[in-house]
Amino acid sequence: MTGSSTGSGDRVGALAGPAAAVPEPEPEIGPARGPDRAQYGVCAFLAVVGVLTLVDAARTGHSISSADSIGPRPVPILLGVLLLVLAVCYAVDVARGGTGEPEAGEDVDLTSRIDWRTVLLLIAAFVLNAVLIEPLGWVISGTLLFWGSAFALGNRHYVRNLLIAVALSLITFYTFAIGLGVNLPAGILQGIL
């Protein structure tokens, strides 16, 4: 019996032995992170926008028609209240030390330099659109905007981009005119479009 004896004490030791050998992870010791004070600026911005939305909604005239029985006030009031609630909830979260998780799927290299050429070309395309929309009309200025944006972002298929830009400008022009009832400036193409 001495060679094959396995008592209950041996079984407990055999089962607990390997599990007891795994050390428990040590809690991370480091400086205690307090609230990110810069996030309070975001909270303040949300609160200011909420208050401004409520003030603007209060100054909006109360007009009710047969097509719109509630008038123009409820939606801005709801948005203003929601912005204030969001600002308060966010401030409480920041005060408790809450931080956002970093994006795991971002493929942005934060160590690379800013491509100022691309940024400046995009700004130029938008400014050119803003300057030319009245005299030339949306179709021409929108075409320049779309084509210039594609060029700034590195696409070098000039003719294809021009055709796509013209198509996008015409589609948006007629979508606004027919679908929404908003007439974009026709400019020098007045009477043709």
Q: How confident is the model over 79-97, as pLDDT tens digits?
A: 999 999 999 999 999 888 8
**Distant-in-sequence, close-in-space partners of 128: CB < 8 Å, separation ≥ 6:** 141, 144, 145, 148
Q: Residue 30 — very low, low, confident or very high, per pLDDT cuts 50/70/90? A: very low
pLDDT digit string, tens, across residues 92-127 = 998 888 876 766 666 777 788 889 999 999 999 999
pTM of the predicted model as reported, rounded to 2 decimal places: 0.51
> What pLDDT is stored for residue 16 in this prediction?
54
Q: What is the pLDDT of residues 32-65, one digit of tens each?
A: 555 677 889 999 999 999 999 999 988 887 766 6
Q: What is the predicted pLDDT for the residue at 19?
A: 54
190 Cβ neighbours under 8 A, 6+ residues apart: 137
